Amino acid sequence: MVGGRSRGRGIHRSQIGQKGYTRVVYCNDPDNPEAVQLNYSGNYVSTTKYTAVNFLPKSLFEQFRRVANIYFLIVACVSFSPLAPYSALSVLAPLLVVIGATMAKEAVEDWRRRKQDIEANNRRVEVYKNNSFCVTKWKDLRVGDIVKVYKDEFFPADLFLLSSSYEDGICYVETSNLDGETNLKLKHALEETSSLHDEKSFQQFKAVINCEDPNEDLYSFVGTLSYGGTPHELSLQQILLRDSKLRNTDHIYGVVIFTGHDTKVMQNATDPPSKRTKIERRMDKIVYILFSTLVLISFIGSFFFGIETRKDISSGKYRRWYLQPDDTTVFYDPQRPILAAFLHFLTGLMLYGYLIPISLYVSIEIVKVLQSIFINQDQDMYYEETDKPAHARTSNLNEELGQVNTILSDKTGTLTCNSMEFVKCSIAGTAYGRGMTEVERALIRRNERPHEVGDISSDFQRDSGDMNMGKSIKGFNFRDERIMHGQWVNEPHPVVIQNFFRVLAICHTAIPDVNEEGEISYEAESPDEAAFVIAARELGFEFFSRTQTCISLHELDHKSGRKVDSKFKSSRKRMSVIVKNPENRLLLLSKGADSVMFERLSKEGRMFEAQTRDHIKRYAEAGLRTLVLTYREIDEEEYKAWEEEFSRAKTSVAADHDALVDAACDKIERDLILLGATAVEDKLQKGVPECIDRLAQAGIKIWVLTGDKMETAINIGYACSLLRQGMEQIVITLDSQEFDVLRKQGNKEAIAKASFESIRKKIMEGKSQLSSAKENPVSFALIIDGESLGFALNKNLEKSFLELAIGCASVICCRSSPKQKALVTRLVKMGTGETTLAIGDGANDVGMLQEAHIGVGISGVEGMQAVMSSDFAIAQFRFLERLLLVHGHWCYRRISMMICYFFYKNIAFGFTLFWFEAYASFSGQPAYNDWYMSFYNVFFTSLPVIALGVFDQDVSARLCLKYPLLYQEGVQNILFSWPRIIGWMLNGVISSIIIFFFTTKSIIPQAFRRDGQVTDFEVLGATMYTIVVWAVNCQMALSINYFTWIQHFFIWGSIIFWYIFLVIYGSISPTVSTTAYRVLVEACAPSVLYWLATLLVVISTLLPYYSYRAFQTRFRPLYHDIIQQKRSEGLEIDDTPNELPSRVRDKMHHLQMGLRRS
């Protein structure tokens, strides 16, 4: 009686044997020559990225996919030639360190996966061999083996269920490892194999399974079993998937049909789509700019080198005779200046390579991993009730969290708890259930008419104490003394009420679980079903037992057996069962959506239709989910004729198999009698309204994509602050009398044409409304239903629809299918070019999560499939506020500052080499010792920038949440805009000019030592390098907003380490240390001029940036500057323009107005 979910791929049984459906399994006969010839893969599983053989080549390939690493590899190779301006080892060592560190990280991660594989492959299972069951390892299983799996064990491969410890061959399975759903699934064996219960029965068992080839679809299976000369159709009900767990069943017997990487769980183990952040993409462009700069200055140097070289011999005269131009190599040949210039150009490409930060990528990777750890350990995003912290499943998108422009959210389970409570019902035209939902309370606040809203019953408003009487029961929040405690027998229509609750107690897929105390709990496929069964139990109709053919109830202390004869698909928006009651009457019990149930009512069965429709409408307005309940009696002749047709349809192998089954179902589901409707409440999660309000204040647009009715979605929108007072609503729907008439006529072409034109017209009217309200501070909300959305996503309309939607502060798409959710997400992502974030909790949200720039999964009731497809996982929607406004803002700021600073320090260092080369007649001579240059990025400047990327905060977490408009710095990309990037680059060039020219002008023209010796090449290099190390680290200290001891340690420790290195390296033999030999101890340290020049030049280098920041903070402050200023003054400011300093009041006003319009 399982109303299973069907995600059919249009597969038909007639395709068995054709392409894609060619698998043949010889049951209990794996050694059959034909089976051996098929050569199916074994059950060994490997999830590692590398093997011992391919690790080195594959990981090296991964490293050298980065342009910068390729460049440094080429430079390292060329450095072995005479063209190199420095030793080969000094270039090769940093490259090996950076690449080695990254490869080591990859190796550690892969080894962890390897250990998990070893554990899984060596698990034990019983397999049938030589007429008995013996223990073997999972990895040794073969296709066709019969295995025995015990309770609470995992299935070792994809199995065909033969039989179980239950006589009728049923078993219960938990699939949380596959789809994250913790509710139990009922599986049942074929009647023909359910009698196989012991070793003797398997001795003669031989069968052949023909089925589909390995694929990733968890929700369908196509195959036939040839046993006893008869083919039997197989379905997903007989398939037990690897990594599912056997529950509530002592043991099962199964045949292995898919092994190893052919199993469905492994077919689903694909890498998620590759996502790159805006900052990463822009960083690549910056690297290209630096490459261009590198080529340019190398060309300039070689050009002037060629000119100077050509002049060295003129009319037989030697200009620079000391260079011996008549006896030179090809690298300096006045007779061939063009060739010499070209070779010098190649030397320049290596010399100025320090413009490209070699440690940038690995530093960013380290920083992002550490940022992810902080996100994972944030106690304010830990949900104690389910013991689930936040989880950054990827560290690649951290900074993107700070740039989200649009959030696209699911509703059920995301904004709401997905923990359904039965609160109201309409039976025989009478509304039952007292109390008030959260949405109704929001309606009261909105309308300020408390006496007009309330319960639908004539006497809704009751004392709240009446609502809370008795023990609280999960899933049941219904109070109405008229039908509770057996009082329904005194109502005007007791028979209808009885049938109503019988439908609730019988028409479902729930599984009862009785504990030691005799208490019954239910495992249901959805929270709705659990609520229905619990409601029936609490009102006197207790479902307590089920088998494959029988459901048993305790009904007012009376036990009644009900035979279940058929099953239907819930994909048809309805579910039905046929039962035979103790009086031998055949009854069809059916429940479903009102959109499909009312049209199936008989003329006599519509007695309460008007009242029920009115109640359903009001329930929807109160934010409740509704289902219509019906029944009818079937006579034996009709049932037998139908059963014969239904059986033929089920066993059909024709291409139209599914259509035949649906047609048979439609024939019996006619002339129904209306009983009433249920209303369950899915409560809003805690803190959702406040979170949405805060995100809206941050300028983030929020779209809700839900399958609910429009009335329900609108009212929940108000309850969660998505829709607010004063908002103008633009509603696009095709629900009108005009279209009802067209639908009745059945002209599909006319309907489509009229619908398209209507949607186009409404979109244009909406855009006109936006245009006319540009000057007024009015926010708009767009509400569109699924049918209209289908037309709006048409290629001819999608651009206009998007323009309308992005002009609205909130968008609600009702009745949306999973595919529409993904299409809308793609439209927003591609159409706006802004960062999108999708958040959801169910399998139907996976497409949306993977399509968005950032996917956030809610680890809620619907399982973990959304989480497994997400980039970040949180337990409650309200945590999104902290994830974006705090961690997102911090990560964006830190990564932006880090990258800008990286390029600054490398340009400042690299250009000193260029100025020195110009000073030395473009000779290609580096200003510094080889190892000075090699260690610059690795030891002397890298750790402070990593500390910046991990710890810096412009404002505290509390202030990030207090002033959500601060988030706009990331959305507008203020901190990583091209002007800011170019500004940092110019700062690097200016710093290099100050460092080189101030240093040379201050120490070269005069005596450097007490004995009168002047500055030589070694002293100039050491002094200038000292100033560079001091300047770039002090620049870091100026940029940091939030100091910790770690940052102090790294900044000042890097400077101190430079001196320690110079002492140690300078004490080594001059054949190794070359120009660094005792340069600090004997030359620089004793000279007052060295220390004085360092102090003055460093201060001069920092002055431009310091002056710019002082000017900006005073006259053109960013929002965080204002908050910092007020905090330093001991003041708290409000988030409104009137409380801001006068010089920025207008600026903030324009920003807020821009957010409303955009």
The whole-angstrom separation of Cα 185 and Cα 511 is 8
- Collapsing DSSP states into helix, strand and coil, what is residue 781? strand
User: What's the token pair of residue 1075?
Assistant: 């120009």
CB 402 within 8 A of CB 888: yes
Q: Give me the count of residues in the chain.
A: 1158
Closest CA to 457 of 681, 684, 717, 679: 679
Contacts of 678 (CB under 8 A, 6+ apart): 422, 424, 425, 504, 532, 535, 591, 626, 627, 629
Task: Say how many C-beta atoms besides its own lie within 10 A of residue 41's C-beta.
Answer: 15
The whole-angstrom separation of Cα 835 and Cα 856 is 13
Cα dist from 409 to 179, 275, 420, 841, 842, whole Å: 20, 19, 19, 10, 11
The whole-angstrom separation of Cα 386 and Cα 686 is 14
For the CA atoms of 884, 887, 892, 893, the dihedral, rounded to the nearest 10 degrees, stands at 130
SS3 content of the chain, % helix, strand, coil (to 5): 50, 15, 30
Contacts of 1041 (CB under 8 A, 6+ apart): 952, 953, 954, 955, 1124
What is the identity of the amino acid at 989?
V
> Does an H or E element contain 60, and which?
helix 55-63
For the CA atoms of 689, 693, 696, 701, the dihedral, rounded to the nearest 10 degrees, stands at 10
Is the torsion defined by CA of 1039, 1043, 1044, 1046 positive or negative?
Answer: positive
Closest CA to 686 of 381, 964, 960, 415: 415
- Collapsing DSSP states into helix, strand and coil, what is residue 586? strand
The whole-angstrom separation of Cα 645 and Cα 655 is 17
End-to-end CA distance of the chain: 52
Contacts of 1071 (CB under 8 A, 6+ apart): none
Contacts of 1086 (CB under 8 A, 6+ apart): 1009, 1010
For the CA atoms of 400, 392, 1044, 1091, the dihedral, rounded to the nearest 10 degrees, stands at -60
What are the residues facing 704 on neighbouring strands? 409, 812
Taking CA 539 as the corner, what is the angle to CA 533 and CA 540, rounded to the nearest 5 degrees? Answer: 95
Residue 410 is among the residues annotated as catalytic for this protein: yes
What are the residues facing 682 on neighbouring strands? 420
> What is the 8-class DSSP label of residue 212?
P
Phi-psi region of 808 (alpha: psi -120 to 50; beta: other; left: phi over 0): beta
CB 631 within 8 A of CB 587: yes
> Which DSSP string corresponds to 401-469?
GGGEEEEEE--TTTTEEEEEEEEEEEETTEEE--S--HHHHHHHHHH--TTTSS-SSTT----HHHHT-
The whole-angstrom separation of Cα 589 and Cα 592 is 11
The whole-angstrom separation of Cα 259 and Cα 262 is 5
Closest CA to 784 of 833, 735, 843, 743: 735
The active-site residue, picked from 145, 158, 410, 845, is: 410
CB 138 within 8 A of CB 122: yes
Cα dist from 685 to 60, 682, 690, whole Å: 48, 9, 11
What is the identity of the amino acid at 363?
S
User: What's the token pair of residue 183?
Assistant: 């509710």
Give me the active site residues, please.
Answer: 410
